[in-house]
Amino acid sequence: MAFHCLLLAGVIFCAFLATSIADFPKFDHSVKDDGSLSILVIGDWGRKGCYNQSHVAIQMGRIGEKLNIDFVISTGDNFYDNGLKGINDPAFEESFTNIYTARSLQKQWYSVLGNHDYRGDAVAQLSPVLRDIDQRWLCRRSFLLDAETAEFFFVDTTPFVDSYFTEPEHKYDWRDVLPRNTYISSILKDLETSLRESTATWKIVVGHHAIRSFGHHGDTQELLKKMLPILKIHNVDFYMNGHDHCLEHISSLDSPIQYLTSGAGSKAWRGDIKGDKNDAVKFYYDGQGFMSIEIAQTNAEIVFYDVFGESLHRLKVSKDLYSSI
């Protein structure tokens, strides 16, 4: 908000006007010399190496080396079962620092919070103290990442989900989130403004919860209703999320948006699905793995890998032509 004053016929009119600058914190990341960018995307991972987390980490290191990645994105549920206990929780090193040890993964990590992170000390994950322990770590609730060729819009999706505010069996750390309606409308307003002002060729929105999913949790109705219309208006290319412990690619039948789930960083193989398997579901894998995304000016390529680093599904998108292989 900015305070604007106008002197008119000797009377001063003042008004609070929303500025056109969005309130999301903004970070910049440089691209390779040819303008391209390579990234790994992982979600739902922090289990001290268990449930194949370490195996996925090893393959991320191998593929990360091959693609010469620029950074890593975490789609949330960074620490199980209940986030971090505080800034001194050893789980931070046991599930992050000591697991993703490959040379290629010693890059910046950009993370959002998942619902399990909110079950612990959510504020701790945002603390600069964690960056002193491991400088790769950067977690915010909602933020922008300008990587020249692509702009990333990270959104804190947990507060959107109604059931977390009514279910008695879990406690959530809603500090700085309440009052909830104000928090959500401010996210939507900032997202709208940032997308409208973005000049990046590729617009990629990242959240923990799926908008569309064929997995256990299914679609997130609150996001379908409140967030998706904004993404459609502003020609978002990809929506990337975790939450369902699987890998999946769902295409949109009424917009260019591709829905990409990478939530298979550790415990997976849930064995159940929700939603209708229809033409839009291009790929669904119930086991562990991760995703890579390579972006150049006119082309992007997304690949899903399993726990052995084998590629399972590939999606190529060009700015003029949408095709899935």
Ligand X SMILES: *[C@@H]1O[C@H](CO)[C@@H](O)[C@H](O)[C@H]1NC(C)=O
Q: Is residue 13 within the footprint of ligand X (CB under 6 A)?
A: no
Of 116 and 203, nearer to ligand X (C-beta) is 116
CA distance 218 to 287: 16
Kindly name the residue from 209, 217, 249, 313 that is annotated as catalytic. Answer: 217
User: Which residues belong to the annotated binding site?
Assistant: 44, 77, 80, 115, 208, 243, 245
CA distance 325 to 307: 21
Among 49, 218, 256, 287, binds ligand X (CB under 6 A): 287
CB of 78 to ligand X, least distance (A): 19
Q: What's the Cα-to-Cα distance from 277 to each of 217, 243, 250, 284, rounded to whole Å?
A: 14, 19, 10, 10
Of 180 and 270, nearer to ligand X (C-beta) is 270
CB of 234 to ligand X, least distance (A): 38
Question: Residue 59, exposed/middle/buried by CB under 10 A (0-12, 13-18, 19+)?
Answer: buried
CA distance 100 to 34: 28
Q: Describe the chain by its helix, strand, coil percentages, rounded to 5.
A: 25, 30, 45
CA distance 105 to 109: 9
Among 52, 104, 157, 258, binds ligand X (CB under 6 A): 52
Q: Is residue 228 within the footprint of ligand X (CB under 6 A)?
A: no
Does 217 qualify as catalytic in the annotation? yes
CB of 53 to ligand X, least distance (A): 9
Q: Is residue 57 within the footprint of ligand X (CB under 6 A)?
A: no
User: Which residues belong to the annotated binding site for Fe cation?
Assistant: 44, 77, 80, 115, 208, 243, 245
CB of 307 to ligand X, least distance (A): 5
CB of 243 to ligand X, least distance (A): 18
What three-state secondary structure class fits 123? helix
Asked whether 82 and 116 are in contact (CB, 8 A), the reply is: yes
Q: Is residue 51 within the footprint of ligand X (CB under 6 A)?
A: yes
Of 52 and 251, nearer to ligand X (C-beta) is 52
Count of residues interacting with ligand X (CB under 6 A): 7
CA distance 43 to 281: 20
Q: Is residue 307 within the footprint of ligand X (CB under 6 A)?
A: yes
Beta-bridge mates of residue 154: 143, 206
Q: Distance between the two ends of the chain, CA-based, in angstroms?
A: 46
Among 4, 86, 229, 269, binds ligand X (CB under 6 A): 269
- Catalytically active residues are 217
Residues that bind ligand X (CB under 6 A): 51-52, 268-269, 287-288, 307
